[in-house]
Structure 1
Amino acid sequence: MTPRNLIGGHVFVAGGLATGGLRYAADIGAEMIQVFVTNPRGWALSGGDPAEDARLRESGMPVFLHAAYLVNFGSPTVATLENSTAVVRHTLRRAAEIGALGVVVHTGSAVTQPREDAMRQLREHVLPLLDELPDDGPDLLLEPMAGQGQMLCATVQDLGPYLEALDHHPRVGVCLDTCHAFGAGHDLSAPGGVRETLDALHEVAPGRLRLIHANDSKDACGSKKDRHENIGAGRIGAEPFGDLMRHPVTAGVPLCIETPGKVERHRADIDLLKKLRGG
């Protein structure tokens, strides 16, 4: 029997990581959740609340963490590189404390420096973090971007050299964002587009898909824009998400929405994905 895709979303944690997060998960019908444990748009680190950590860990809810948006291991700025290392190390530690399955990190940009230098930095700073991970700890999940600017990884094919730079480390997984992939040029809306994209992912990174960010796109395929839309309300459309869940590469891989709105729209997105899944 094919493993079932759990469907959930990035949740708001007002009132506490577990208190707020689990309440929001119940309100939207989430079967898994993703949360931030630091300010997503800053470098400040939070130690968390041991009681909330324990409650979340004991809830049985599958959890993923998302590292801060500012993280960029390809940056030519020394402070950004140092802060990126500190934030990802901290987020991985927090993930281990709450029993999270993985930490999602954006794959970064070379900004103004040569791509070769940026990839060398990636190797030098990320490999030590991976080697620090406990055997039962979280994996680091690479999230390719939409291709804007000097992004180091956007298309599925870009994962090849990225993984090579990290020695194909066994603790590295992939988080595929459908809006990003569409913006990068993978036409998920076209007949056979989902199959072609996932076949390519399997060829480049077999067995590494751990999480899917299920987001429709406000912009056209190949736009290199990262503007999320609610499921079925954008340029991708609803049906490709059903195709996504029927492909063998995604068997048992959770889908996490990061779509606009709050409770009502998020519940509608999750309900639609469940319908496309078959209940």
Structure 2
Amino acid sequence: MRNNPIGGHVSIAGGLATGGLRYAAEIGAEMIQVFVTNPRAWAVNDGDPAEDAKLREAGLPVFAHTPYMVNFGSPTEATLTGSVTLVRHTLRRGREIGAAGVVVHTGSAVSQSRESALRQVRENLLPLLDEIPDDGPDLLLEPMAGQGQMLCATVQDLGPYLEALEFHPRACLCLDTCHMFAAGHDLAAPGGVAEMLGELDQVAPGRLRMIHANDCKDVCGSKKDRHENIGAGHIGAQPFADLMRHPATDGVSLCIETPGKADKHREDIELLKKLRG
């Protein structure tokens, strides 16, 4: 029996645990992803110990996602300093809620060279990895769709990024199917999923911890980050079944970040469960 918990990024209206677990039950989630602070603000906030305890005791695999502004490749000092603060805070809060991993976008060089941006990644992100205690959580690097000056989009881009981080054991991965498809990995083609995961095994073996399971509104290679419901986009349903049958994904959680509200999210999760079969 494959071990691929399937769930989604949950609404925490009503409290991190109270609202999050209520939403998880509504959509049939076997795992959840949450924001532990405002995803569109630099301010951080302490959690509620009672809510944290509820989340730890719920028995669901939990992952935290850092705010969207984080960018260790930015040439702007304020962005760089703020990114360190937000990731350090999310890692701490991740430990407090019992998270298995904390997702962070790999960032963009914006207006500077790729080499300069990767030096910044090394100087600012590597110390944060060193701070993670033995019991985690791991930091999950998420490549983007390839728009602009993104530092990681394809699997091959992960090589230099992980090298900048000295292949730190706490530097793990979260792959987004929409991002990978938009970046040029044709998951919809026969054997496309196996080809992508085979490349991943060469570049970063054993580091995959979570998959953001999203279909894509645009064609392969579009470099557009526009998520679609499972089976309704250009990837289609079958590649998600292929994904869950591959040895490299055994034990890896699948988390939807698809359009719509609870009813659509429940449909996406039910379809993924059928495909897991």
TM-score using structure 1 length: 0.98
The count of aligned residue pairs is 277
Paired with 1:6 and 1:187, the residues of 2 have a C-alpha distance of: 24
Q: 1:59 Cα shift?
A: 1.1
CA RMSD of aligned residues (A): 0.6
For 2:156 and 2:111, the matched residues in 1 are separated by 23
Partner in structure 1 of residue 261 of structure 2: 262
Counting only pairs closer than 5 Å after superposition, residues 211-226 of structure 1 correspond to structure 2 as 211-226=210-225
**Counterpart in 2 of 1:80?**
79
* Amino acid of the structure 1 residue aligned with 2:257: E
Aligned-pair identity (%): 77
Q: Show the counterpart of 1:40.
A: 39
Aligned to 1:199: 198
- Note the 1:1-279 alignment, pairs <5 A: 3-278=2-277
Rounded to whole Å, the distance in 1 between the matches of 2:44 and 2:218 is 34
SS in 1 for 2:255: strand
Q: Which runs of 5+ in 2 are unaligned?
A: none
Deviation at 1:3, TM superposition (A): 4.1
TM superposition shift of 1:4: 1.2
Q: What SS class does the counterpart of residue 87 from structure 2 fall into?
A: helix
Encode CA deviations 1:202-254: one digit per residue, 9 max, x unaligned. Answer: 11000000000000000010000000000000000001000000011001100
Q: 2:58, 2:190 → 1: CA distance?
A: 40
> Which piece of structure 1 moves more, 141-150 or 35-44?
35-44
The 1-side partners of 2:232 and 2:218 are apart by 11
Name the CA distance, whole Å, in 2 between partners of 1:44 and 1:266: 29
1:115-140: CA deviations, max 9, x gaps?
Answer: 11100000000111011111112000
* SS in structure 2 of the partner of residue 17 of structure 1: coil
3-state secondary structure, aligned to 2:33: strand
Aligned partners of 1:133, 1:205: CA distance in 2, in Å? 20
Q: Unaligned stretches of 5+ in structure 1?
A: none
Deviation, 1:39, is: 1.1
Deviations 1:68-103 (A, max 9, x none): 011000000000000000000000000011110000
Q: TM-score of the superposition, structure 2-length normalised?
A: 0.99
Distance 2:233 2:242 in 1: 16
* Counterparts of 2:136 and 2:186, CA distance in 1: 35
Distance 2:166 2:103 in 1: 19
Q: Residue 64 of structure 1: SS of its match in structure 2?
A: strand
